[in-house]
Amino acid sequence: MSEALLLSQHLKFLRRHLITLPANYRSFDSNRAAILYFTLSTLDVLGKLEEEVDAELREKLIEWIYRLQLKSDSVSFIRIMGFCAPPAPHFGFLDTGCSVLGGIKINPTIQDQGSSCPSKDFYVSQYNLAHHWQRPHMVPHSVGFPQLLARTMPWVQDCLAMRHAGHWPFETHSNRLKNRNLLEVFEDPSDGSVILWSVNELSTRKRLLEFRLNRLRDEEFDEWKIVSYDRDEDQESYNSERTKITERNWNTSTENEISMSEEQFIHNHSSNNPKYCRTLDVSTALLELRSYKSAGERCRILARSEKELYLCDPENNTVSTLFHHHIHSLSFIPYMNDEIVFLDDVGRIWYGEMGENFIQVKCGYDIESVAGSDHPRLIYAADKDGVHLVDLRVGVSDGNLLYTVPEYDDTSRNSYHFQYKGAFEKERIHQLYSLPDVPQMLLICTSKKFVLVDERMRGLICLESSHSIYHGGHHVTSAPPIRDTNQNGTIYPIFILQHTIHPDVQTFSLYRHLDGTIWSSLASIKRLQEPRSAVAFYREQPKYNIRIPRLAERFLFGSGPTRAISFLNTDTDSDNEKLFLFRMMDDGSLWYEQISIQNDQHLSEKMLWRGASKMKDIIDANTLDLTRSDNVHSDSRQQKVNIFDVEPDIGTSENLFLNSSAGALQPLDTHPENNYPEPEIVRDVADEQLFSKIVLQGWDRYFY
């Protein structure tokens, strides 16, 4: 060897790598493996490999290399941890939608224990963590199908809007849909009472409904019922600690053990009974409900409308106007219980204590969304391209940008011969949401991705996941965090409500590891099932012996998509933690379902029989009263209903036993809901009965 190579210095440099590499580093394994490969290759070139690496060190390095590989405990196969996302934007041209081996980190809670420590404990996958830990049940999932709680139409019959179910008026502005969520559930910790507030979307949205809920506890399945406000009458059922679900045989659906009078009230209210519901009317149509409880006071509702911001107290029948202009992007300021921050319709930031004068923040940015941060006087403020930390006291950005939308997608995996800048539409920020209990973590919803960032590490991304939701959804929220007792981590279920362009509810979950520095995604994003999903399931399963008419499916199981969601976590004991999702459908009906992270596969059959029994009760309780409600607000006179003599469709014969006065099944029927006349069979049809006058005048019938 030539002395010009400074062999001794090279060997000294390489020895340092050999000494330090087989250790528990807090960085990516691929980097360490590359350094080791460089070290061993260089020693081999210098002819010093056998001299520097003895048998003991060689065995140690080989063992360490094997631990870098993702393998099962039995070493029978190599398990590659991949994250399967929805179809990537631009048909996957720049993003494969799969992060294979891209987010593998060392578990900070596990010490280096040699070969005795399995890889699934030693490593942490940032994507598809539930599969890595082989715990698919830890992904928050629904226990059974959604269950019906109540139908709110009886309390809004006098204030129905001129709108067909499932349709938004074409002139609806995007600001009227952003953060639109007219449902809120709250449990008062002082007395344990549970209150639900809702606003029917088919009404004029000027009436707030309040219900008292009672939970019927059970080790396996819990139920919710609406109870009377007369505490003396319902004291026994109100005490949820002593209320139990009666034992019944879930493997049969022939016995109706539920009281028909109670089910009749729950599923088909016969009158507007103030004993079970409090109503409160406001001046303008509402868009969003938020529960607000000040120290030492009862819970009230912060209601955002199209023109004003209200503080509602249904118990005392009072409405206080807090702000006299339309606002959006409303957020509470953490650690300041009575302060809120919001944007008005022209993008100006306001903040202050409720009941006092709000302060306008003079900010030079074109802000479109705000959220509270971990600092009581710093807020997250986003324009379409970036997220600022704005100081409310001076109105300027505090330090560097927290996040900036890239000019174009990451092209590091593509050829450098091509330039992709400007090839596709640039991402845009649509929503900001700070996670509960950890306001320093911010979830940024762009048109293509969900991005999780940490306020303390500006410019860096903790987690990133692609999605296919149009504009990132209209309403983004998180359920109360769920404690994972196995790994001492915390699960944050994220739910996205979409009102237009394939309206539905989608969900994914984030996992915060014990030390709080590493975040993972449990599984890919998925759509939640609707109440009508149960109908499709039981119709295909004849063993449950349920006949579900098409008309009953249309009007009894949540007509239209989900329009509002809310959550309730009633147990403080982490070993018996139960989370409930409440939802309001487009027709105003209220439903609930239990969310679990436990392995409940052994309860699946019992759960299905229980759901079949409840579905049969709903159909039986409404068979005699089922009528069409295509246009429930019509006041026109009764007209003769014509039924055309055509061959019936498959399945329509099932509906003949429902209500003979309902006439034929006509989806576009506009007759009043009640008192239908007897149908008349029509065999000879004139043109005027099939076509409008406009069509007939513009069409020469004898031309063809």
| The token pair that represents 481 in the structure block | 């965090």
Q: What angle do CA 126, 527, 103 make, to 5 degrees?
A: 10
Dihedral pair phi/psi, residue 683, rounded to 5°:
-110, -25
* Positions of CATH 2.130.10.10 in the chain: 138-163+176-622
Which pLDDT score, from 0 to 100, does residue 54 have?
80
What CA–CA distance (Å, rounded) separates 380 from 372? Answer: 6
What CA–CA distance (Å, rounded) separates 548 from 611? Answer: 13
Q: Does domain 138-163+176-622 have CATH number 3.90.550.10?
A: no
Which pLDDT score, from 0 to 100, does residue 274 have?
64
pLDDT for 246 beyond 60? no
Instruction: Flag the least confident range among 119-128, 257-266, 519-528, 616-625.
Output: 257-266
The β-bridge relationship of strands 349-353 and 359-361 is: antiparallel
With contact defined as beta carbons under 8 Å apart, do 660 and 623 qualify? no
**pLDDT (mean) for 68-97:** 43
Q: Could you report the per-residue pLDDT of 131-158, keeping only the tens digit for each?
A: 888 888 999 999 889 999 999 988 998 8
Which pLDDT score, from 0 to 100, does residue 229 have?
79
Which pLDDT score, from 0 to 100, does residue 495 have?
97
Which pLDDT score, from 0 to 100, does residue 619 have?
83
Instruction: Between 80 and 350, name the one with better pLDDT.
Output: 350
Instruction: Flag the least confident range among 247-251, 495-499, 544-548.
Output: 247-251
Which pLDDT score, from 0 to 100, does residue 493 have?
96
Q: Name the burial class of residue 610, with classes exposed (0-12), middle (13-18) and buried (19+) by CB atoms within 10 angstroms of its CB.
A: buried
Residue 645, C-beta contacts closer than 8 angstroms, at least 6 positions apart: 681, 682, 683
- Count CA within 13 A, CB hemisphere, residue 199: 28
The helix (run of H) or strand (run of E) holding residue 304 is: strand 300-305
Portion of the chain with pLDDT greater than 90, in percent: 28
Hey, how many other C-beta atoms are within 10 angstroms of the C-beta on 391?
Answer: 17
Q: Indicate the Cα dihedral angle 392, 394, 397, 398, nearest 10°.
A: -90
With contact defined as beta carbons under 8 Å apart, do 495 and 142 qualify? no
**pLDDT (mean) for 291-311:** 91
Instruction: Between 569 and 658, name the one with better pLDDT.
Output: 569
What CA–CA distance (Å, rounded) separates 522 from 126? Answer: 8
Which pLDDT score, from 0 to 100, does residue 379 have?
92
Contacts 24+ apart (CB under 8 A), 337-340: 337/294, 337/295, 338/294, 339/376, 340/302
**pLDDT (mean) for 27-56:** 71
Angle of helix 604-622 versus helix 260-267 axis, rounded to 10: 80
Instruction: Between 64 and 312, name the one with better pLDDT.
Output: 312
**pLDDT (mean) for 521-527:** 90
Which pLDDT score, from 0 to 100, does residue 69 have?
52
User: What's the predicted TM-score (pTM) here?
Assistant: 0.72
- Assign 3-state DSSP to the chain and report helix, strand, coil percentages, each to 5: 20, 30, 50
Instruction: Flag the least confident range among 163-177, 265-279, 378-392, 428-442.
Output: 265-279
Which pLDDT score, from 0 to 100, does residue 5 have?
63
**pLDDT (mean) for 183-197:** 88
Closest CA to 166 of 601, 587, 553: 587
Instruction: Flag the least confident range among 17-26, 166-175, 335-344, 511-520.
Output: 17-26
Which pLDDT score, from 0 to 100, does residue 388 have?
92
With contact defined as beta carbons under 8 Å apart, do 299 and 292 qualify? yes
pLDDT for 331 beyond 70? yes
pLDDT for 669 beyond 50? no
Q: Secondary structure of 144-165 in the HEC alphabet?
A: EEEEEEECCHHHHHHHECCCCC
Which pLDDT score, from 0 to 100, does residue 642 have?
41
- pLDDT tier, 325 (very low <50, low <70, confident <90, very high otherwise): very high
Q: Could you report the per-residue pLDDT of 361-397, keeping only the tens digit for each?
A: 988 788 999 999 988 889 999 998 999 999 888 888 7
Dihedral pair phi/psi, residue 350, rounded to 5°:
-130, 145
- pLDDT tier, 498 (very low <50, low <70, confident <90, very high otherwise): very high
With contact defined as beta carbons under 8 Å apart, do 143 and 221 qualify? yes
With contact defined as beta carbons under 8 Å apart, do 206 and 200 qualify? no
Instruction: Flag the least confident range among 35-44, 196-205, 695-704.
Output: 695-704
- pLDDT tier, 512 (very low <50, low <70, confident <90, very high otherwise): very high
- pLDDT tier, 415 (very low <50, low <70, confident <90, very high otherwise): low
Q: Name the burial class of residue 168, with classes exposed (0-12), middle (13-18) and buried (19+) by CB atoms within 10 angstroms of its CB.
A: middle
**pLDDT (mean) for 619-625:** 69
| The token pair that represents 294 in the structure block | 């000040």
Which pLDDT score, from 0 to 100, does residue 584 have?
95
| The token pair that represents 283 in the structure block | 């001046």
**pLDDT (mean) for 472-482:** 93
Average pLDDT in the chain: 75
What CA–CA distance (Å, rounded) separates 484 from 641? Answer: 59
What CA–CA distance (Å, rounded) separates 478 from 208? Answer: 23
pLDDT for 303 beyond 50? yes
